Amino acid sequence: MSDRSRIDRLSVDLGQRSYEILIGRGLIAEAGKLMLPLLKQKRVIAITDSNVAPHHLEGLERSVRAAGIAIDSIVLEAGEQTKSFTGLEGLLNQLLEIGIERRTTLVALGGGVIGDLTGFAAAIALRGIDFVQIPTTLLAQVDSSVGGKTGIDTPQGKNLVGAFHQPRLVLADTATLDTLPRRQMLAGYAEVAKYGLINDPQFFSWLESNGVDVIERADGPLRHAVLESCRNKARVVAADEREQDARALLNLGHTFGHALEAECGYSDELLHGEAVAIGMVMAFDLSAQLGLCTLEDAARVQRHLASVGLPTSPTWIDGREWSAERLIRHMGRDKKVQDGRIAFVLAKGIGQAFFPAHAALEEISALLETAIAA
Ligand SMILES: NC(=O)c1ccc[n+]([C@@H]2O[C@H](COP(=O)([O-])OP(=O)(O)OC[C@H]3O[C@@H](n4cnc5c(N)ncnc54)[C@H](O)[C@@H]3O)[C@@H](O)[C@H]2O)c1
Ligand SMILES: O=C(O)C(=O)C[C@@H](O)[C@H](O)[C@H](O)COP(=O)(O)O
Ligand SMILES: [Zn+2]
Mean pLDDT of 83-111: 98
Ligand 1 pocket mutation, candidates 144, 165, 166, 182, criterion most atoms within 8 A of CB? 144
How far does the centroid of ligand 3 lie from the alpha carbon of residue 274, in Å? Answer: 10
Ligand 2 mean position to 114 CA, how many Å? 15
Tell which of 179, 214, 237 closes a domain: 179
Active-site annotation, residues = 127, 149, 191, 233, 243, 247, 251, 254, 258, 272
Measured from the CA of 233, which atom of ligand 2 is nearest? 1
* Residue 4 pLDDT exceeds 80: no
Whole-number Å distance between alpha carbons of 352 and 200: 8
217 and 170 assigned to the same domain = no
Say if strands 130-135 and 105-110 run parallel, antiparallel, or are unpaired: parallel
Do 285 and 166 share a domain, yes or no?
A: no
Q: What is the mean predicted confidence (pLDDT) over 190-211?
A: 98
Q: How far is the CA of 100 from the centre of ligand 3 (A)?
A: 30
Residue 285 belongs to domain with CATH number: 1.20.1090.10
Task: Give the ligand with the smallest distance to the CA of 255.
Answer: 2
Whether residue 303 is contained in a domain is answered as yes
Instruction: Tell me if 253 CB under 6 Å of ligand 1.
Output: no
Segment 308-315 mean pLDDT: 98
Confidence of residue 97 (pLDDT cuts 50, 70, 90): very high
Instruction: Please name the residue whose Cα sits nearest to atom 4 of ligand 2.
Output: 250
Instruction: Decide whether any atom of ligand 2 lies within 6 Å of the 254 Cβ.
Output: yes
Whole-prediction pTM value? Answer: 0.98
- How many distinct structural domains can be found in the chain? 2
Under 8 Å between Cβ of 369 and 305: no
pLDDT in tens, 239-292: 999 999 999 999 999 999 999 999 999 999 999 999 999 999 999 999 999 999
Residues 128 and 203 in one domain: no
Shared domain check, 331 and 189: yes
Domain that holds residue 365: 182-373
With a 6 Å cutoff on the Cβ, whether 51 touches ligand 2 is: no
- Whether 1 maps to a domain, the answer reads no
**Sequence-separated (6 or more) residues with CB below 8 Å from residue 127:** none
ipTM above 0.95, yes or no: yes
Distance between CA atoms of residues 317 and 304, nearest Å: 19
Same-domain pairing of 126 and 260 = no
**Residues 192, 88 within the same domain:** no
177 is in an annotated binding site: yes
Residues 154 and 245 grouped into a single domain: no
Q: Which of 146, 179, 212 is the last residue of a domain?
A: 179
Q: Specify the pairing of strand 8-12 against strand 19-24.
A: antiparallel
Judged against a pLDDT cut of 50, whether residue 315 lies above it is answered with yes
What was the pLDDT predicted at 3? Answer: 40
From 155, 179, 203, the end of a domain falls on 179
Report if residue 2 sits inside a domain.
Answer: no
Candidates 83, 152, 197, 251: which one to mutate for ligand 2, based on the most atoms within 8 Å of Cβ? Answer: 251
